[in-house]
Each structure stands twice: as C-alpha cells, then as structure tokens.
Chain A
Amino acid sequence: MDFEFTEEQNELRRQVREFVESEVAAGTFEVTSKAIVAEVSKSFSRKMAQRGWIGINWPKEYGGQGKGQVDKMIMLEEMYRYQAPTGYHFMAERQIGPALMKFGTEEQKKEFLPRIVKAEDGAMFCLLFSEPDAGSDLAAVATTAGKEGDFYIVNGQKVWTSEGHLSDYGWLLAKTSFDESIPKHQTCSEFIIDMKAPGVTIRPLINIAGEHSFNEVFFDNVKIPATSLVGKEGDGFKQIMAQVDYERSGIERLLQNYPVYTALRKYIAEMTPEDRHSDYYGWIKDVMAQLEIEFNVGRLMCYNTAWIIDQGKKPTSQAAISKAFCTRYEQKLNDTAMKIMGPSSTIRKGSETLSPAIDVAACYLWGPSYTLQGGSMEVLKNIIAQRGLGLPR
C-alpha cells in the first residue's frame, strides 16, 4: 500500500505544471471550463507532442513514451487544473490509438498512429456510435455498411457526435450483417471514415447551454475503401466494449469543471468578515468540506483504476464506479457553486456587462450530459451490479 508517487512521477508533474502555467501566463489559451474536449488547438497539441505527452502511455514502437496509465493521469491532472485545450488529440489519443494498436492492420497503424502522436494534420477523430434509436442499447445501430467489392457503402444516421464538425475522421460503428438469426451484438463492425467524404452531411445540434458541440451526421451512399474496416467484421461491438474502460476511467471526468472550484474558492475568500461569522458561512464550510472529501475520493478512484490498468488487469467495474462517482461529483460541484455564488452566478459569459471569467451557469447546464455520455449512470450501475457484484442478469 503506497499512496505516494515516485520521484520520477513528481518530476513529470512539476514539468507539466510549469509548462501549463507558462502557457497560461503567455495567454496561449483562456482558462475556462469544459475545454478539455471542446477547445481544439492544433498548436497546443503540437507543443504537447514535442514533449512526448501525447501517447505518453503508448508503447515506444508506436511513438509513445512507454509509460503507465498512472503517469498519463498525473500529466492530465496538471493539464486539466487549467483546462488546457487538448481537444485536437483528445479522442484519438484516448480511444482510437489504443483500439488501432489492438485491432488495426499494420497499414492503419502506420497511417494513423504517428500522426496522432505528433498531432499532425488530419489526426482529429470523432466517435460515430450513437443513433436516434441506439443509445444505451448501442448494439441496436441501424446505420449500414454493405460490402461491394473493395468498398463498403455506408447509409444511415448518427447523432450526438461531439466535435463531428471539426474532425478529420470518424470512428464508425455500423451494421455489416443483415442475417436476422445472428444476435445483434455480432452484426456490427468498426470503420474509419473520412468526415469530408462525399455523401457525409453534418448538421449542428445546439445543446441546452446554447453551444454547438455535438452534431447529427448523415450518410448517403458514402463509399469507403474496404481497408477502412478495423478489426474483424462482426466484432465491432465487442471491440468497443473492450475499449470503454479507457473512456470511463479518465480523470477528465473529475476535472472538467475545475475552474469552477477555483472560482468558488476565490469567491468565498473575498467574502466580508461579517459574512464569515454567520450561520450561513457555517453551511458553506460544511458543503465545501464535503466537496473536498468527494474530490479526494474521486481522485483516488481515478488513480486506482489507472493503477489496475498498469497491472495489466481489466478494470471494468472500477472504471464504472469511478465514472459514476466522478460525474456525480461534478454535477454537485456546479450546483454547490451556484448556490454559494447566488443569483449573480446565473449571468452567462458573453453578457454585455459583468460577463464572468468562468461561466458557472454554463457548467451547471452541461451537468446532465455527464451522467449520460460514455455510459449513463443507470447503465454503469447495471455493470457494477452484474459484472462487479455478480447479481443475476
């Protein structure tokens, strides 16, 4: 049992912190909330790449540093305290790269892995999984990819595609088998699809925070080369399930709203001495201490999951526990922040006057999405109960 980091890890943390703080000081990016995925900056990603921080946990043969998941988490923790704009490489590094290493062909690895690790042009990916009728029940996708000679022809519709409008490629789940007798989770396959291919139409969806982040994506006879297939035909669902632990275990689930916490602490610190001796302040201390405890618990869960991955084990239940816990923490943080900061916290960024540096209201509005995307709270609890605790299905 050891809750301390190694000297080398402390050094990594120090380097990353120094780098991010100097970038903030230089004004390369604005410290806001939820920028991890949403803020796309090729130049920032390249700076990280130069330091070996993209693919830090990838094997050296694929251009990575060969470090562990815990190391990656240390690096991300420092990045996300300031919401560094990692949107350009975020998805590709977290999910696409590892999936390609595991299931991709040599050509696919050669084509994409170096590009991702170096944050070169054409390395931004989005996930084309969800559909209007396939949400939690992902295996129910209806988008089809029918094989015709050396090509697949894609038809159908995806929805909630985050950053689809900014991405170069999509990581697509589509149906490749139309045999009714085959169980539905054996009927789909994974593909890489060029988002600029003829027949792909992307339409923005505006979310309740008034922002354009996710999209609808339509495929109308999109012709993609057969070499775009990743892994085996019919294995798509299985392959995705093999990767979701990475999607769920990240510390981004805990830190998307870290600037809200910072702003909240500043707000409290600036309260008047009279306020600080009120009953109300007693309540503030109580809820802030609870946040502190829960942040600590969430952080331990993230590192614990990362550590399990580093031991070569599959953290399915732990990752689900971690995501369930951390997303709820984030919702609570935003809710608590609005209560403490009072009515003025409803003023949004971009307001003609009094525009806040940190848009706490926007963070609150984003809240519901945390417990939906990447496995809803209820789906995670099903996983914990059935796979973790072994309750009957």
Chain B
Amino acid sequence: MDFELTPEQNMLKKSFQEFLAKECPFDVVREIRKSDMGYSPKIWKKMADLGWLGLVFEEKYGGSEGAFLDLFVLFEELGKAQLPSPLFASPVMAGFLISEAGSDAQKEAYLPRLIDGKKIFTVALPDETPVPAGRKTVISTGRNPDGDYILNGEALLVPHADVADMILFCAEDQNRSPILCLADSKSSGLRVSALRTITEERKFVVACANVRVSGKNVIAEADNAKAALERMKTKAMVLKCGEMIGGFKQVLDMTVNYASQRKQFGVPIGKFQAIQHFCAEMAIDLQGAQLIAYQAASAISSGASGEVEAAMAKAWCSDTYVNATRISQQIHGGIGFTDEFAVGLYFKHAKESELMFGHSKIKRQHIANAIGL
C-alpha cells in the first residue's frame, strides 16, 4: 500500500499547478467562460506544447505513454482551476474512443492532430437518464448506395461543438444498436446551435439532417461500439471524479479561509461550532472522495477495468461534492451568492459533474448488480 504519488508524479503535479496558477487565475477563467470561443486558443496551444493532450497516448501518434494516474492528477488540478478547454472532449472522450476502437488507419489519420491540438474533436453522447419519448436522438437512418451512413436527429449538450473540427457521434441504427462514427463539423446538413447551461460553459445542440458519414469514418459498430463506449465512459468518469475532488478541495480551502477571515459578533465566524462542524463534515467527505477516486484511478492505471471502483467513486464524489458546495454557499453568506465570487463556480461545476455519466442513484444500480443483488 502506498497513499502517495511517486516523486515523478509529484513533480508533474507541481508543473500542472504552476502552469495553471500562472496562466489562468480566476479572472482569466471567468473571461474565457464568457468569451465567444469558450476556450483560450493561446492556453490550449501551450497545453498542447506541454504534451498534456497526449499524456496517455502511444508515442507513435505523438503521445508520451504516461500512466492513467498522471492524467488523473492533471484533471484534479483542472478541477481546482476550473479552466474551460476542450481537454475533456477532445483527447479524453474522442481520443479514448478512437484509440480504443479505431483501426490503425483511423488512429493514424486522427490521433496525431488531436494530440498536437491542431484539431479539436468532440463527442455527442446520448443521455444517461431516460428521456421523454418525443426527444430526438441521433440515429442512422440507413446507408446510401456509396455505402455512406446517413445521420438524422439531434444530440444535446455537446461541448465545444462550435469550434470542433470533428464530431464523434454515438448514434444508433434503427435496431438501437450503437454506431460510433466521425463526421466533419462542416458536413452539409449539420447544424450547431448554442445552449446556455448551468456552468455558463457553452454547450451545443448538434442537429443532423441527412448528414453523410463515409464508411471509413465508422469507428465501431454494435458490440464493439458498446464495449468501447463503456470503457471510455469508465475512464472519463474517473477523470471527472478527479476534477470533482480537485474542485471539492478548492471549495473546502476557500470556505475555511473565508470562515477564518470573516468576522461577525466580534469573532471570525470559523470560531462558531456550527461553522466548524460544517467544515469538518466537508473534510470527512473529501477524505473519502479522494481515497475512493484515487482507488479507481489506480485500478485503471494498473490495467484493471476498474468498473465497480469507478461507479463507487462517481457515486460518492457526486453526492459529497454537491453537498459540500451547498454548505460552502451557506458559510459564505451573501458574498458567495454573487457572480463576482469564485465559490459559485464550484456550486455549478458540482451539479453539472454529478449529472454527467450518471448520478449516484444510477451508479448504485450498477454497483448493486455487480455485487450480486
């Protein structure tokens, strides 16, 4: 057993921290969020030059073949910094799918550009929770004589779709069997429209009206697609947990800091036991969240599927992070409720993260099945 990072990982972590502290303090983060692009191409390029986009990919495609844990540590830091960027959409979601399920030719064609950041990819995923019958999803309505797939329908909440070069669709055929395929974002019939969402990070509706996808851009179908999707989601979910524990730690630090400064009745409010116990609750939950998230990341890093660990981590991190951000709002009083003040960012991030890849109730169903109930 060893509950510490290796010296190399600690160095890596420090370099992430230094970069993020220097490049994107909170006012820059806010600016980027409100910007038209929704990310900073300048910072994106620097991140790419530092090799952050290729941490876990094969060297032959420009990656550095690092451990999954290295990437996890990066996401922990990103969770603290709350820097919006296509890192999650492009190398993680799209990159993992392509490298898991793509053919050599497809990897050859896409991964180098994805890793050097010159091209941005995003992924259009179906919802985790049941949706009303009328809601459209992306389906393949058949193939034309050239063998092209024809996509119709719409995908919601696709990140960075406005700046993406390629969109990876998790579509379904008419028998609800999944198809993973890549479409050029400039394809005719493809329309991207912006959504306003809880985090103010812009996400998009991607609508397809007879969008043609050539057969050579189909990454995987049927069982292969399903399996690749599950593996990608497990890893992405654990990285989301990394983000969440990073955000959680930041929220606790900010809250303790505020409670030590803010005075009422002549004393710092952190002297009041009600406030201390709120903070202690957060510390207990955070400790658990860190341990369980690192457990999942370690499992994946060592080559295991880590499915159950990931589900447990996602359930616990979601519930406790959301709760902690609620408490942090209470302790900060009115100031925390202003857009000016950074703590609200985490309140939003927590809710959004909770719902991505399934909230705790959904994860608990997986766990219950896994333990034989």
List A residues at the B interface (Cβ < 8 Å): 1-5, 70, 268, 284-286, 288-290, 292-294, 296-298, 300-301, 303-304, 307-308, 317-318, 321, 324-325, 378, 380-382, 384-386, 388-393
Contacts and interface: CB of A to CB of B under 8 A. Distances in A.
B277 A385 contact: yes
A325 B279 CA distance: 14
A286 B368 contact: yes
A293 B315 contact: yes
Nearest to B289: A297
B276 interface: yes
Interface in B265-284: 267-268, 270-271, 273, 275-277, 279-281, 283-284
Nearest to A74: B1
Given A318-B287, A321-B287, A300 B292 contact: yes
A308 B1 CA distance: 11
A290 B364 contact: yes
Interface stretch (B2-10, B31-39, B93-101, B109-117): B2-10
8 contacts: A1-B3, A70-B1, A285-B369, A289-B363, A289-B371, A380-B280, A385-B280, A389-B280
Contacts of B3: 1, 304, 307-308
Contact of A293 (B2, B270, B275, B312): B312
**Most-contacted residue by chain A among B256, B288, B301, B361 (CB, 10 A):** B288
Contacts of A307: 1-3
A293 B316 contact: yes
Nearest to A324: B284
**Majority-rule SS of B interface residues:** helix
Given A382-B273, A393-B271, A301 B280 contact: no
A288 B371 contact: yes
Contacts of A285: 364-365, 368-369, 373
**Most-contacted residue by chain A among B252, B277, B299, B366 (CB, 10 A):** B277
A294 B288 CA distance: 9
B12 to A, nearest CB: 13
Contacts of B373: 268, 284-285, 288-289
B64 interface: no
A3 B1 contact: yes
B250 to A, nearest CB: 14
Contacts of A268: 373
B288 A300 contact: yes
A344 B301 CA distance: 46
B260 A293 contact: no
A385 B283 CA distance: 8
A301 B287 contact: yes
Contact of B279 (A290, A300, A391): A391
A77 to B, nearest CB: 13
Contacts of A308: 3
B287 A292 contact: no
Given A285-B373, A293-B367, A389 B279 contact: yes
Given A300-B291, A325-B284, A392-B270, A292 B312 contact: yes
A380 B5 CA distance: 28
Contact of A391 (B276, B295, B360): B276
Which are the 3 A-B pairs with shortest beta-carbon distances?
Answer: A289-B364, A385-B276, A285-B368
